[in-house]
């Protein structure tokens, strides 16, 4: 069995043109965006001017929001630690949103109390119901505009229409949208062009060093261990099953160890050890299929690109638009477009342990440079500077 998907823009030189029509979704977004932009413009002209306009992250105060339980997840931990390494002590504040309280009120009180200049907004934090979520976004747009706060709106799944509407509204007047999808695709669905994507997972230098210590303790398996670890959902489950069937026919064992999408997470070091236990780590870059998605078939730059290479593991991963912007196929990792290609790649690696070692070392070197240059935050800061003429 072969599972394949046509991936537009697999090469960074290819034009990225989305399939299907998004006319009505875009029409309603444009109408809502114009309305919200008008409110934000009024807020800018008539709102509070207590905060000095600041474009550069380096000269501001950054607040990062998340739900109280979300701060236990690796992503938010790494987001906070990497931001502190980039900005320095005292310039990064964490806001844990309390359940049951007014989300917007908590944001406003926190920003006013700490004179925040930049705010890291995530649509997963507030209401997850359509009307309340849109209303919260409009309120934040007006408040940010009047308070001269620059939003950094982050969205993991830009194809989910409600989340995309929220980040578009919050960043309507000023600020940027950061996502895992290629910006050329996202611009087809967005009412403004202040989009950074695909963006790498933020990983702190301290965690990268810790992973180096853990990696030094690992031993190469004989035969080489081929596995997947992560969340299981469709179409990922079907793709992994097809790869396993293909590898079994070649006499190669493929271990699939995962958790139900959205299920309970394990402790951080146990998570990293699961990745480190593989010699060859296989993954997909497919989005989980959900209702309310416009372009759910478009792959994105999942966190595993960063995590596996930071652990020094040989990664065989489904291609995603923009991946070649950061990584060289065949040198840093191996990209595949259908499950037959994935099987062939793994078979070739299992029969050539020297190549596995070469890819491991080169991939680790590439991700080290991206972590040490603080690429996630540097790109955001540079983009804010380039787009300063768009800000009110």
Domain ranges of the chain: 23-200+374-390, 205-372
pLDDT score for 10? 44
Within 10 Å of residue 261's Cβ, how many Cβ atoms? 14
166-212 per-position pLDDT tens digit: 998 898 888 899 999 999 888 877 878 889 999 999 999 999 999 99
pTM of structure = 0.88
Do the domains 205-372 and 23-200+374-390 match in fold? yes
CATH of domain 23-200+374-390: 3.40.50.2300
pLDDT (mean) for 279-299: 86
For residue 36, pLDDT beyond 80: no
* Residue closest to 319 by CA, chosen among 343, 306, 301: 301
pLDDT (mean) for 326-335: 98
pLDDT score for 161? 87
pLDDT score for 180? 96
User: Which pLDDT band, with edges at 50, 70 and 90, does 387 fall under?
Assistant: low
pLDDT score for 14? 38
Q: Which residue has the tokens 């906070």?
A: 80
For residue 278, pLDDT beyond 70: yes
pLDDT score for 260? 64
Task: Indicate the class that CATH gives domain 205-372.
Answer: alpha beta
For residue 271, pLDDT beyond 50: yes
pLDDT score for 144? 92
For residue 70, pLDDT beyond 60: yes
Cis peptide before 55 (omega within 30 of 0): no
Exposed (0-12), middle (13-18) or buried (19+): which is 17, by Cβ within 10 Å? exposed
For residue 349, pLDDT beyond 70: yes
pLDDT (mean) for 302-315: 97
For residue 158, pLDDT beyond 90: no
User: Which pLDDT band, with edges at 50, 70 and 90, does 29 fall under?
Assistant: low
């Amino acid at each position: 069995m072969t599972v394949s998907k046509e991936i537009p823009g697999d090469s960074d030189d290819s034009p990225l043109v989305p399939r299907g029509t998004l006319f009505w979704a875009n029409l309603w977004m444009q109408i809502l965006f114009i309305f919200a932009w008008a409110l934000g413009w009024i807020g800018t002209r008539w709102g509070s001017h207590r905060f000095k306009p600041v474009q550069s992250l380096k000269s501001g105060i950054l607040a990062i929001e998340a739900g109280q339980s979300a701060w236990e997840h690796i992503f938010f931990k790494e987001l906070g630690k990497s931001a502190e390494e980039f900005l320095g002590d005292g310039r990064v504040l964490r806001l844990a949103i309390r359940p049951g309280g007014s989300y917007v009120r908590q944001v406003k009180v926190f920003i006013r109390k700490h004179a925040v200049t930049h705010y890291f907004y995530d649509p997963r934090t507030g209401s997850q119901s359509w009307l309340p979520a849109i209303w919260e976004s409009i309120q934040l747009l007006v408040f940010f505009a009047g308070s001269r706060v620059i939003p950094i709106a982050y969205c993991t799944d830009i194809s989910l229409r409600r989340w995309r509407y929220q980040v578009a509204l919050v960043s309507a007047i000023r600020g940027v949208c950061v996502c895992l999808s290629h910006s050329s695709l996202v611009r087809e669905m967005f009412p403004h062009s202040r989009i950074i994507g695909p963006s790498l997972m933020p990983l702190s230098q301290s965690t990268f060093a810790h992973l180096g210590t853990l990696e030094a303790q690992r031993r190469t398996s004989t035969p080489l261990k081929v596995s997947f670890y992560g969340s299981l959902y469709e179409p990922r489950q079907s793709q992994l099953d097809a790869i396993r069937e293909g590898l079994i026919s070649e006499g190669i064992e493929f271990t699939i160890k995962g958790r139900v999408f959205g299920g309970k997470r394990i402790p951080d070091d146990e998570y990293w050890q699961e990745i480190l236990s593989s010699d060859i780590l296989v993954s997909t870059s497919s989005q989980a299929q959900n209702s309310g998605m416009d372009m759910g078939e478009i792959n994105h730059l999942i966190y595993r690109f960063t995590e596996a290479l930071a652990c020094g593991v040989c990664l065989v991963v489904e291609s995603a638009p923009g991946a070649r912007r950061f990584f060289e196929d065949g040198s840093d990792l191996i990209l595949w477009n259908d499950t037959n290609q994935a099987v062939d790649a793994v078979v070739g690696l299992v029969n050539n342990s020297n190549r596995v070692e070469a890819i491991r070392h080169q991939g680790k070197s590439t991700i080290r440079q991206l972590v040490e240059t603080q690429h996630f935050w540097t790109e955001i800061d540079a983009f804010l500077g380039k787009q300063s003429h768009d800000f009110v």
